[in-house]
Amino acid sequence: MDDLFIKQEELTKLVNKIRPAAKKGRMASYIPALKESNPNDFGCVIYNGTEIIEAGDTDVLFTMQSSSKILSLALALMDQGEDTIFSKVGMEPTGNPFNTVQALEEENPSKPLNPMINAGALVVTSLLAGDTGEEKISRLLGFIRELTGNKTIQVCEKTAASEKKNANLNRSLCYFMKSHGILTGDVETILDAYIRQCSILVSCEDLARIGSIIGNNGKNHKNQKSIIPAHITKIITTFMITCGMYNASGSFAMKAGIPTKSGVSGALLSGLKDGTGIGVYSPPLDSKGNSAAGVPFLEKISDDYNLSIF
Catalytic residues: 66, 69, 194, 246, 264
Closest distance to ligand DON from the beta carbon of 12 (Å): 27
Nearer to ligand DON by Cβ, of 199 and 237: the residue is 199
- Ligand-binding annotation for 163, yes or no, is yes
Nearer to ligand DON by Cβ, of 120 and 289: the residue is 289
Q: Is 307 in the site for ligand DON (CB under 6 A)?
A: no
14-73 positions binding ligand DON, by CB under 6 A: 65-66
Write the burial class of residue 273 (CB in 10 Å: 0-12 exposed, 13-18 middle, 19+ buried). Answer: middle
Query: Looking at 48, 114, 242, 262, which residue binds ligand DON (CB under 6 A)?
Result: 262
82-121 positions binding ligand DON, by CB under 6 A: 98-99, 118
Nearer to ligand DON by Cβ, of 42 and 98: the residue is 98
- Using CB under 6 A, count the residues that bind ligand DON: 13
Q: Is 281 in the site for ligand DON (CB under 6 A)?
A: no
Q: Is 163 in the site for ligand DON (CB under 6 A)?
A: yes
Q: Is 264 in the site for ligand DON (CB under 6 A)?
A: yes
Q: Which residues are annotated as a binding site for substrate?
A: 66, 118, 163, 170, 194, 246, 264
Which residues of this protein are in contact with ligand DON, per CB under 6 A?
Answer: 65-66, 98-99, 118, 163, 170, 198, 246, 262-264, 289
